[in-house]
Amino acid sequence: MKSFYEKCYAVLRKVPKGKVTTYKEIARALNSKAYRAVGTAMNKNPYAFPAARGRAGGDSLKSSDLVPCHRVINSNGELGGFASGLKNKIKLLKSEGVEISNNKIDLKKYFFRLR
């Protein structure tokens, strides 16, 4: 049986490049209201993109194993936190074509609803 964190990571892997989702949306997809626990799972992500960990590459993880925790933001469109710093989160999101204005993302344009 998968842990709550592993379930969070499995759901988040569905969010495509150039889109974002929210902590609340991940919790909803898991039939939970544990938004903060989702945030903790993202902070503890052992499958983060190498750039999110401050490395250029060289990890042994396959791309299908990676969990794009930089694509998770607050429900109001604010960026929220990021384990390796907000500058890295912004860099990763911008590299995927996500526009950020005043540390916010337009959810009408970039939100990915999980099913």
Identify the active-site residue in 66, 69, 98, 105. 69
56-80 per-residue burial string, b: 16 or more CB within 10 A, e: under 16: eeeeeeeeeebbbbbbbbbeebebb
Active site annotation includes 8: no
Distance from C-alpha of 76 to C-alpha of 59, rounded to nearest angstrom: 33
Q: Say how many C-beta atoms besides its own lie within 10 A of residue 49's C-beta.
A: 21
The residues that are catalytic are 69
